[in-house]
Structure 1
Amino acid sequence: MDGLSDVITVARAGRPRSAYVRWHAPWGQRFASVPGSVGFQVILEGHCRLLSPHAAPVRLEAGDVLFLPHGSGHTLADSPATAVAAPACSPDDAELPGPYASDSVDRLGRGGPATVVLCGAYRLGPSRTHPLLLTLPDLIHLPAGQDRHPELHAAVRLLTAEVGNPRLSTSVTIPALLDTLLMYNLRIWLAQQPAPDTPTGWAAALNDPAVTAALHAIHRDPAAPWTVAKLAAEAGLSRATFARRFTSMIGQPPLGYLTWWRLTAAARLLQATEAPLRSIAAQVGYASEFAFANAFKRTHGLAPSTYRRRN
């Protein structure tokens, strides 16, 4: 595993949701904010407007992707003049109904030109949200274009086919394709970030070979007896230079991040497996179940067994 892959595999809680929705003009739909989620909208056919009370309407064309890392509320409509319907879902809707249900929906309207949108959302584990996601803006617009982001649009085509025409194994294929789509969104956003005068933050870290090497080492083998010196050797830097660069980019010292990652990975194992606590403790680098339980409670506020029951 690596730091970017784990943004998805560790943070996600439950199954992602998706839908293939066809609107006919005139139409307008407000999507409520859903804290603790990641959402996206892909315009498959036709066009529409992204409306905001604080900015001019943005025209969205077929192939455009909207990525909402914090589940922010937003509004889509065929025209800025169209009346907007009530929110499609509310923050308390655990199953994300309406356009966020895993289904294909045809909203007939009054028979005007159609706009087809692929909608999707992830629930995030609140105690496991990766710090990279916290640094992203509320909304990322990735415009379509000739030969622009071909991998992203290939994933969109595959996902559209599965959602629009469910078949054998679709229940397995859709979550994997949603993970792929989210990964391409993150890759593209990271690649588009300009090089800052003073490199800080996760975008800079994942474009820095030395810090990335240390992150890969931690994520590849969190149970290893890492020290700052050993991680500096992975990065090919002196101990002092490595510690300074890692801390400035990641926002915490190397061993602080190592502890956070170990206990985040442990939370995922507690939720997703039935492995005994002593096994999970060993997998994330703790010599005893007692030491692991104390560290886990300090970070997550619950004993490991209680966390497992509640999740």
Structure 2
Amino acid sequence: MDLLSDVVSILRSGRPRSARVAWHAPWGQRFPAAPGSAGFQVILQGSGWLIPPTGDPVPLGVGDVVFFPHGHAYGLAADPSAPLADPVCDPLADADLFVSDFVGHTGPVTVTLCGGYQLDPRHAHPLLRDLPAVIHLPARFGEHPELRTAVDLLGNEVSRPRPGADTAVLALLDMLLLYILRAWFAQSTAPANPTGWAAALADPAIGAALNAIHRDPARAWTVQSLADQANLSRATFSRRFTSLTAQAPLTYVTWWRLTLAADLLRRSDAPLTAIAGRVGYTSEFAFANAFKRLYAIAPGRYRRTGAATG
């Protein structure tokens, strides 16, 4: 797998949720902070206003996507001066995979598609820390066609459930998260001097090395072999990798191996020896020592006590 695919597949825990809501003006809702989660809002019909955690209200139109990667509080309203009511629609609090709802009075209607992902902060990739509190992706003709298609498909599945809808919605929610991240990183690399993980993903040399690590985490990587993947000298590669990711190359390799191991402990009943080999450790003893240094708990106990369940 490549880096961004791995980030999406390992970060999320449990089932995501989604809802299609018809808001009839006047309306306004407060969405409280939800640590350990991420959420999105898409305007399918009409218009509204985003009331962000800080700063001025933001007008939203049809096709606009708003993503909240850190679970910060926000509000949505028909008018920026509208009072915000306590939550009446919160997909993260609903037990169902997807719901449809009607809120408000008899005024003009705004239809939103919202959703939420439960995240395991212990598996959070450092690239997510680079994301702002709110990501607004305005609808612009010709931009992010995959994202627009995923929104349309998800909206149709939620509003008109048919046989197989659960499978379709789960897949589309993961696709939507991936496309939102793609769109953001593409937008973030547009400036002349991108920084951080956006720059690392956009850098052909460092991106090649990162994807090599994620395709084959068990390989006995060295700084030189990673530099070969990047087609750079060892010194240049090490300097550039550390500058962009804030981690030395082999520090990142170790972190990713153990993050992958923690996910395998959570999701599978594979023996510790098999997990150790899959993430590049030649013995269960070496794996257990490395795991305990990072997680402060032995891998067997991590699994038995449910520490890895999300």
When normalised by structure 2's length, the TM-score is 0.93
Matches within 5 A, 1:80-119: 80-87=80-87, 96-97=92-93, 102-119=97-114
Matched, 1:63 2:59: no
Q: Is the 8 A contact 1:23 1:114 kept in 2?
A: yes
| Separation in 1, partners of 2:41, 2:239 | 39
Q: Which residue of 2 aligns with 1:46?
A: 46
Question: Any idea what the Cα deviations from partners look like across 1:7-56, whole Å, max 9, x if unmatched?
Answer: 11111111111111111111110101111111110111111111247433
| Separation in 2, partners of 1:89, 1:298 | 42
Write the letter of the residue equivalent to 1:262: R
Q: Is the 8 A contact 1:42 1:118 kept in 2?
A: yes
Matched, 1:217 2:212: yes
| Separation in 2, partners of 1:199, 1:113 | 41
| Separation in 2, partners of 1:143, 1:249 | 28
Q: Which residue of 2 aligns with 1:8?
A: 8
Q: Is the 8 A contact 2:227 2:234 kept in 1?
A: yes
Q: Is the 8 A contact 2:35 2:70 kept in 1?
A: yes
Matches within 5 A, 1:152-231: 152-194=147-189, 200-231=195-226
Distance 1:289 1:193, change over 3 A: same
Write the letter of the residue equivalent to 1:97: A
Give the C-alpha shift of residue 235 in structure 1.
Answer: 0.7
Q: Is the 8 A contact 2:217 2:280 kept in 1?
A: yes
> The residue matched to 2:239 in structure 1 has which SS?
helix
Q: Which residue of 1 aligns with 2:239?
A: 244
Q: Which residue of 1 aligns with 2:74?
A: 74
CA RMSD of aligned residues (A): 1.9
Question: Any idea what the Cα deviations from partners look like across 1:55-81, whole Å, max 9, x if unmatched?
Answer: 332111111000111111110011123
Q: Which residue of 2 aligns with 1:26?
A: 26
| Separation in 1, partners of 2:105, 2:195 | 51
| Separation in 2, partners of 1:261, 1:88 | 39
Give the C-alpha shift of residue 167 in structure 1.
Answer: 2.1
Q: Which residue of 2 aligns with 1:137?
A: 132
**Percent sequence identity over aligned pairs:** 58
Q: Is the 8 A contact 2:16 2:92 kept in 1?
A: no
Q: Is the 8 A contact 1:200 1:250 kept in 2?
A: no
Matched, 1:234 2:229: yes
Write the letter of the residue equivalent to 1:160: G
| Separation in 2, partners of 1:113, 1:198 | 44
Q: Which residue of 2 aligns with 1:260?
A: 255
| Separation in 2, partners of 1:86, 1:33 | 12
Distance 1:121 1:197, change over 3 A: same
| Separation in 2, partners of 1:108, 1:300 | 44
Distance 1:197 1:147, change over 3 A: closer
Q: Is the 8 A contact 2:16 2:115 kept in 1?
A: yes
Give the C-alpha shift of residue 104 in structure 1.
Answer: 2.6
Q: Please, which runs of 5 or more residues in structure 2 have no aligned partner?
A: none
Distance 1:296 1:161, change over 3 A: same
Kindly tell me the number of residue pairs found equivalent between the two proteins: 306
Give the C-alpha shift of residue 89 in structure 1.
Answer: 7.8
Write the letter of the residue equivalent to 1:176: A
| Separation in 2, partners of 1:53, 1:189 | 19
Q: Which deviates further from its counterpart, 279-288 or 299-308?
A: 299-308
Distance 1:258 1:108, change over 3 A: closer
Q: Is the 8 A contact 1:44 1:118 kept in 2?
A: yes
Q: Which deviates further from its counterpart, 217-226 or 184-193?
A: 184-193
| Separation in 2, partners of 1:85, 1:199 | 39
| Separation in 2, partners of 1:163, 1:16 | 13
Q: Is the 8 A contact 2:189 2:199 kept in 1?
A: no
Write the letter of the residue equivalent to 2:58: V
Question: Any idea what the Cα deviations from partners look like across 1:90-121, whole Å, max 9, x if unmatched?
Answer: 9xxxx8225x9533333342211111111111
Question: Any idea what the Cα deviations from partners look like across 1:139-161, whole Å, max 9, x if unmatched?
Answer: 01111122232211100011111
Write the letter of the residue equivalent to 1:220: R
> The residue matched to 2:70 in structure 1 has which SS?
coil
Matched, 1:292 2:287: yes
Q: Is the 8 A contact 1:66 1:141 kept in 2?
A: yes
Q: Is the 8 A contact 1:34 1:73 kept in 2?
A: yes
